[in-house]
C-alpha cells in the first residue's frame, strides 16, 4: 500500500478507477430490481468509478506528499530498504535509513499517536458492526435474491478489508517502535 501511495496522482487514479467501477457496477447489477440496461450500467459504473477514484486519490494527496517528503533524502535502494523496514520490520543497520523509515511509517499512519490509532481502531470496529447490521437488515428487507447476494458480498468484503487495514496499521506501528529502539536519540 505504501508503494501504491507513492505513485503519481494519475497512476493511482488509473489503477483505482477500474476497480471501483467494477465494484460499483456489480452493486448496481445485483441490487437493482428491474435490471437496468447493460450500457446504462457500464456508463454509470465507469462515471462513478472515476469520480470516486478521483475523490479518494485527491483526498490522499497530503499522505502522498508526506511519504514522498519522508523518502526524499534517500536513493532508490534506500527507498526500498525503508519501505521494507516499515512494512516487514527489516531493521536497517544504517541509523540514517532507520530515521527515514520511522518518518515514512509515521507519515503513512498520518502522524497519529498510539492513543489516536487506538481510537481509530475502535471507530473502525464500530463501522464494521454498523455495516454488518445494515447488511443483515438489507438481506431481511430485500426480496430479490440478487440484492440479498449484494448485501452478503458487501458484508464479507467489509469483514475482510477493514480488519486487514487495522492489522496493517498495528504492524506498521510495531515496526516503527522496533526501529526507534535502535536509534541513539530514542528515549
The predicted-structure confidence for 131-183, as pLDDT tens digits, reads as follows 999 999 988 988 778 778 888 888 999 899 989 989 999 999 999 888 888 66
The mean per-residue pLDDT over the stretch 86-112 comes to: 88
Crossing angle of the two packed helices 145-181 and 9-31, in degrees rounded to 10: 150
The mean per-residue pLDDT over the stretch 95-114 comes to: 88
pLDDT at 186: 47
pTM for the model: 0.75
The mean per-residue pLDDT over the stretch 61-67 comes to: 90
pLDDT at 55: 94
**CA 45 to chain CA centroid, nearest Å:** 21
Amino acid at each position: 500500500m505504501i508503494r501504491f501511495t507513492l505513485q503519481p496522482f494519475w497512476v493511482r487514479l488509473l489503477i483505482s478507477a477500474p476497480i471501483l467501477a467494477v465494484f460499483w457496477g456489480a452493486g448496481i447489477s445485483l441490487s437493482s430490481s428491474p435490471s437496468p440496461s447493460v450500457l446504462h450500467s457500464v456508463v454509470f459504473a465507469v462515471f462513478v468509478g472515476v469520480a470516486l477514484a478521483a475523490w479518494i486519490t485527491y483526498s490522499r494527496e497530503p499522505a502522498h506528499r508526506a511519504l514522498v517528503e519522508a523518502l526524499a533524502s534517500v536513493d532508490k535502494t534506500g527507498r526500498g530498504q525503508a519501505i521494507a523496514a516499515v512494512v516487514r520490520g527489516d531493521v536497517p543497520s544504517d541509523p540514517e535509513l532507520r530515521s527515514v523509515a520511522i518518518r515514512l511509517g509515521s507519515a503513512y499512519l498520518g502522524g497519529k499517536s498510539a492513543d489516536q490509532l487506538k481510537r481509530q481502531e475502535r471507530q473502525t470496529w464500530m463501522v464494521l458492526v454498523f455495516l454488518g447490521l445494515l447488511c443483515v437488515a438489507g438481506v431481511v428487507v430485500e426480496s430479490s435474491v440478487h440484492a440479498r447476494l449484494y448485501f452478503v458480498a458487501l458484508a464479507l468484503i467489509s469483514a475482510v478489508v477493514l480488519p486487514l487495514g487495522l492489522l496493517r496499521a498495528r504492524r506498521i506501528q510495531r515496526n516503527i517502535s522496533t526501529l526507534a529502539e535502535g536509534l541513539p536519540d530514542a528515549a
